[in-house]
Chain A
Amino acid sequence: MQPHVELTGISKRWNDAIGVEGLNLSIDQGSFVALLGPSGCGKSTSLRLLAGLEMPDEGSIIINGRDVTTSAASDRNLSMVFQSYALFPHLSVEENVVFGLKVRRVPKRERMEKMARALTITGLEGLEKRKPGELSGGQRQRVALARAIVAGQKLCLMDEPLSNLDAKLRNSVRKDIKKLQRDLGITVVYVTHDQTEAMSMADKVVLMKDGRLQQVGSPNELYSSPANTFVAGFIGAPPMALIESEVLPEFEDGLTLGLRAEHVSIVPNDTGRLSCEVIESEFVGAETLIGLAHSGTVGVTVLQPGLSLIQPGERVDITFNDRDLHRFNQAGERL
């Protein structure tokens, strides 16, 4: 099957500062792709390039087999949900939703039908006459969604659409968006800095850093076989611990070893492979995360079931299985 979107060698620079560098990405029809990364990694820039709000310096963008690299945003057959929602404050909910249809001169009857359907799907019936200022954050977010789906475009871009919602609402809207995408069979490209969102919603996660791709794959691939130390140290809560191989005598020097918290266990003192100092205990409900410090390691954590706080400063011995270790070379690439 032909991919819905294909980015080839996309670069965008501002006065020598890198926005995006050499981005290659292919997005399948009907898939949910999350662009993930820390702030300033180029994920929003990538989305804006795809939307046609910015023009790339190099590379090509193909949507539905058509080269749209230099096309205007409106010629790309896509819709977009903005982080701020970008609702027109002086227009009512229904005027906001049909704005694009009106601009595209869709006949009134069809407009009304499409609007009614979009409002039903997003659960906004009864709020048609309200202005955005009279809506709650979650309702505004749904208006933005309704506006994005009303035109029936097959590609929908979302730029951190949940970042202005509180944690509880974010959880439920996350499910709504996922369901919407599946029911409508649309392709969604979703920018987020929240890995929980990316991991829980996406079929494919694209992890970026400093304008460059780090890894593209299913959430499971990123979690269980990170391509480099950045991915290892970014994905997962807590992320993977990174241990210099010099610390463990049984490994050759110059390697970095990755280790997930769930593969670490505490053993009686003087029987473990590493003896660490406890620096913090964080109770999160079902389990307690215990942060450990040892020279040559970053982020070693162990999970203890239930509430089991350990005083900071205490020493504990830990052990782990060699087959649970991820090996990275000096450049940080996975071996």
Chain B
Amino acid sequence: MKSASNLEQRRQSIYGWLMFAPAAVMLSVFAFYPTIATFWSSLFSRGTRRRPSEFIGLENYTDLFADPTFWLVAKNNLLYAGVTIPASIAIALAMALWANSKISARSFVRTAYFTPTVLPMIAAANLWLFFYTPGLGVLDKIGSLFGFESVNWLGQPETALWAIVIVTIWKEAGFFMIFYLAALQTIPEDLKEAADIEGTSRFTYTRRIVLPLLMPTTIFIMVNALINSVKLIDHLFILTKGGPSDASKLLLYYIWEMAFAFFDAPHAAALTILVLAVLCVVAAVQFLYLDRRTHYQ
């Protein structure tokens, strides 16, 4: 009797480990090990033929903090995240609310909104290059109709980052809209009717009922948007290459530059670890703090 239940328990635990193993292996090989290896290599100096790499502790990090470009890039990325995240979420929500209402050509509207998401970022960047190019670009063509002077949107430090920001919002809003649209469809129609009978205005209904019920989706999107604000740099390669004078350079692009243009792997590793740490803290705050204030069905 006892051995039978022991056997059953063993079987259950083996079963559990088997279920756990694939994810554990994949995550270890592709996430945990690279993270630790990166951290480890960030503690060593850059090896040259004359001076082999040696352990230098946190010196790579202090170098970074002393580097004005690092602070400029960090500030750029902060501004980039601070604008693209709320803007793309707000636009996604507005588009989803509209595409979810009873309008004609609803599926056309949805498809149209989703198209930017389907395009590869490189293709999208080329598209926008055509918009932004001074003289030839669509923006300038339209501007000249109204007598505005030609503007080099991507070529001047004041506008370059904003031009990048707009491309990102355009790209992301449609993607996030799909999540909102899916969430909106899980809200039963009769909640709206129950609110209608009480005389609830559309605005109050949206604010008091729809937005709280969309909170889980919003958190999910926020985390995604945050990660993307660090991760999504493809368009920089096409549009500005981080210039002019680093005005549109973002952290990941800077890391890439350090590692593969200047071949300074240790500093790139140190910067990577910093970015990872910040992302972890923010994600934890979002999930732990906002989760408690969110209703999950």
Residues of A within 8 A of B (CB): 51-53, 72-75, 78-80, 82-84, 86, 88-90, 99-100, 103-104, 131, 133, 147, 151
Contact = CB atoms under 8 A, between A and B. Distances in A.
A254 B196 CA distance: 52
A74 B199 contact: yes
A86 B195 CA distance: 9
B209 interface: yes
B154 to A, nearest CB: 45
Contacts of A90: 209, 212-213, 295
Contacts of A151: 198
Contact of B194 (A78, A82, A104): A82
A71 to B, nearest CB: 11
Interface of B: 188, 190-191, 193-201, 204, 208-209, 212-213, 295, 297
Nearest to A159: B190
Nearest to A84: B190
A74 B191 contact: no
19 contacts: A52-B197, A53-B193, A72-B199, A74-B197, A74-B200, A78-B197, A80-B193, A82-B190, A86-B188, A86-B194, A89-B213, A89-B295, A90-B295, A99-B198, A100-B197, A100-B198, A103-B198, A103-B204, A133-B297
Contacts, number: 65
Contact of B199 (A53, A89, A103): A103
Contacts of B194: 80, 82, 86, 88, 147
A131 B212 CA distance: 14
B196 A73 contact: yes
B209 A88 contact: yes
A168 B194 CA distance: 27
Q: Which of B195, B198, B201, B204 has the most CB of A within 10 A?
A: B198
A46 B216 CA distance: 37
Contact of A82 (B193, B199, B200, B295): B193
Contacts of B188: 84, 86
A51 B213 CA distance: 25
Given A99-B200, A100-B200, A147-B194, 6 more contacts: A74-B199, A86-B194, A88-B209, A99-B208, A100-B198, A103-B204
A83 B191 CA distance: 11
Contacts of A80: 193-194, 197
Contacts of B198: 74, 99-100, 103-104, 151
Contacts of B208: 99
Contacts of B200: 74, 99-100, 103
Q: Which of A53, A90, A104 has the most CB of B within 10 A?
A: A90
Contact of B190 (A74, A78, A86): A86
B201 to A, nearest CB: 8
A72 B196 contact: yes
Contacts of B297: 89, 133
